[in-house]
Amino acid sequence: MDRYVNVPINKEELRSLEAGDYVYISGTIYTARDAAHKRMYDSLRNGENLPIVMENNVIYYMGPSPAREGRPIGSAGPTTSNRMDKYAPELLDLGLGGMIGKGKRSKEVLDAIVRNGAVYFAAVGGAGALLSRSIVSSEVVAYDDLGTEAIRKLQVENFPAIVVVDSKGNNLYETAIKEYAKED
């Protein structure tokens, strides 16, 4: 089903999304990938505050290519999510509403998604030029020294994604593959 969602997004709305839904996301999201996650993890170990609020927010696992003059961002597709699996459960427990990435997640992340009623979205990997068109503005809000891996606040408009794991734990990666698998 095609759905239009606004972010930040509360738990009730997240619960209405189902694995397989094609969503168009509008509002504010944050980017973070390997290095930013490691820093946030270290901050939590040291009892420090995180540079962004987790509750009801959506993190996009993405590190863009540099923007050409007059453009908000360069190529901006998802990176592989499983490298953030070590860090994601803790962020979900802090209220993170959703993650946008690509690829399979660990059992620990899947459990944390269900435990917190969150959602895992996939954007189409390798479609960074197309996806950049849905990004209206981009601003570094933390860890500027990390370059492409800095945390960016993005304004998105009808950013296309697919619900892969919904709040009940239904997993499109498992069900859809079975549907098209043929025994040789």
Partner 1 sequence: MRTISVSEITENIKEMCIEANHFLSEDMQDRLKTATKEEKSPLGKQILCQLEENLVIAKADMIPICQDTGMAVIFMEIGQDVHFEGGSLEDAVNEGVRQGYVEGFLRKSVVGDPLIRENTKDNTPAIIHYEIVTGNQVKITVAPKGFGSENMSRVFMLKPADGAEGVKQAILTAVKEAGPNACPPMVVGVGVGGTFEKCALLAKKALTRPVNESSDIPWVREMEKEMLEKINHLGIGPGGLGGTTTAFAVNINTYPTHIAGLPVAVNICCHVNRHAVRVI
Closer to partner 1 by Cβ: residue 77 or 89: 77
Closer to partner 1 by Cβ: residue 112 or 162: 162
CB of 79 to partner 1, least distance (A): 7
Closer to partner 1 by Cβ: residue 66 or 93: 66
Q: Convert the chain into a string of H (helix), E (strand) and C (coil).
A: CEEEEEECCCHHHHHCCCCCCEEEEEEEEEECCHHHHHHHHHHHHCCCCCCCCCECCEEECCCCCCCCCCCCCCCCCCCEHHHHCCCHHHHHHCCECEEEEECCCCHHHHHHHHHHCCEEEECCCCCHHHHHCCEEEEEEEECHHHHHHCEEEEEEEEEEEEEEECCCCCEHHHHHHHHHCCCC
Q: Which two tokens stand for residue 27?
A: 């509002």
Closer to partner 1 by Cβ: residue 77 or 98: 77
Instruction: In whole angstroms, give the CA distance from residue 65 to residue 46.
Output: 32
Closer to partner 1 by Cβ: residue 91 or 164: 164
CB of 95 to partner 1, least distance (A): 26
Which residues lie near partner 1 (CB under 8 A)? 22, 35, 62-68, 71, 74-77, 79-80, 82, 102-104, 122, 124-130, 132-133, 146-149, 160, 162, 164, 172-173, 175-184
Closer to partner 1 by Cβ: residue 15 or 104: 104
CB of 1 to partner 1, least distance (A): 12
CB of 147 to partner 1, least distance (A): 5
CB of 12 to partner 1, least distance (A): 26
Which of 60, 67, 171 shows the shortest CA–CA distance to 123?
60
CB of 24 to partner 1, least distance (A): 13
CB 125, CB 102: distance < 8 Å: yes
